[in-house]
Amino acid sequence: MELLKPHSRLVGSKRKNKMSVIISDQIDVPYDEKALNDIKDPELSRVTEYLITLIKFLRKQLSEMADAININSSVTITIVDSATYTVLGTDDILHVQFTTTGTVTITLPTVQATDSRVIVIKDADGNAATNNITIETEGAETIDGATNFAMNVNSMSVDLYLIESNWYIF
Task: Give the confidence band of 122 by pLDDT, cuts at 50, 70, 90.
Answer: very high
pLDDT per position as a tens digit, 27-40: 444 555 555 556 66
- Amino acid (1-letter code) at residue 141: E
Shared-domain flag, residues 62 and 84: no
Q: Residue 154 to residues 105, 112, 142: CA-CA distances in angstroms?
A: 16, 27, 24
Among 106-120, 131-145, 152-166, name the one with the lowest average pLDDT. 106-120
Phi, psi for 102 (deg, rounded to 5): -175, -175
Quote the domain boundaries for residue 51: 1-73
Shared domain for 54 and 111, answered yes or no, is no
| 26 or 151, higher pLDDT | 151
pLDDT digits (tens, 9 = 90+) for 53-97: 888 788 787 777 766 665 556 788 999 999 999 999 889 999 999
Same domain, 81 and 66: no
Are 46 and 129 found together in one domain? no
Indicate whether 120 and 132 sit together in one domain. yes
* Domains contained in the chain, number: 2
Residue ending a domain, choose from 50, 73, 96: 73
- pLDDT band at 25; cut points 50, 70, 90: very low
